[in-house]
Amino acid sequence: MSKAFVAILMGSDSDLPVVEAAFDILKKFDIRFEAKITSAHRTPEGTKAYVKDAEARGCGAFICAAGMAAHLAGAVSATTLRPVIGLPMNASMDGLDALLSTVQMPAGIPVATVAIGKAGAKNAAYLAAQILATADDDLFTKLQAERADNATAVEAKDAALQAQLNG
């Protein structure tokens, strides 16, 4: 198990059904994580205090899920030098407002941004795992094995398709 952990921040409890997909990926790789509901706008001081505390306790990456104005990832990135992954949520405008808010960070305040919704939640967790794997060889090996298993599964599906077509 990696010593570092991933902190997952959500702007609202309505984000939880989507963010749970990230929980599942992190659990699969035995990565410790914490989850917190906090707001860049409604609880800015609490958000900043949590980020500083998590960083001091060994947080290796932050995942920030937010919709609409989606300032949570930027606010977290402004507070820490740890990697921040923005997860845009579909709260309005099919999530496009959140996507644009998340990717449009000023120079020097980077936020890695993933897709809107559950696919993005999974990729945020995978990206966090890859970040932690730069300092954790066992985790790196687990990620390599998963990639190989995914490739094998695709090849098996193609073989089944080819057999059906040539049946």
pLDDT in tens, 51-81: 999 999 999 999 999 999 889 999 999 999 9
- pLDDT (mean) for 16-23: 98
- pLDDT (mean) for 140-145: 97
Place of tokens 């449009």: 104
Residue 25 has pLDDT above 90, yes or no: yes
Query: Which pLDDT band, with edges at 50, 70 and 90, does 11 fall under?
Result: very high
- Cα angle 109, 134, 126; round to 5: 75
- pLDDT (mean) for 76-94: 96
pLDDT tens-digit readout, 147-156: 999 999 999 9
The model's pTM is: 0.94
pLDDT at 70: 87
Type and span of the H or E element at 99: helix 96-103
8 A C-beta contact, residue 132 and residue 139: yes
In CATH terms, the fold of domain 5-135 is Rossmann fold (3.40.50)
- pLDDT (mean) for 13-40: 97
pLDDT at 38: 96
Question: Do you know the residue count of the chain?
Answer: 167
pLDDT tens-digit readout, 92-108: 899 999 999 999 999 99
Q: Name 57's Cβ contacts closer than 8 Å, sequence gap at least 6.
A: 5
CA nearest 40: which of 96, 97, 102? 102
Residue 5 has pLDDT above 60, yes or no: yes
C-alpha to C-alpha distance for 110 and 112, rounded to whole angstroms: 7
pLDDT at 1: 45
- HSE-CB at 41 with a 13 A cutoff on CA atoms is 8
C-alpha to C-alpha distance for 159 and 28, rounded to whole angstroms: 28
CA 61 to chain centre: 9
> Going by DSSP bridges, is the β-strand pair 59-67/33-37 parallel, antiparallel, or unpaired?
unpaired
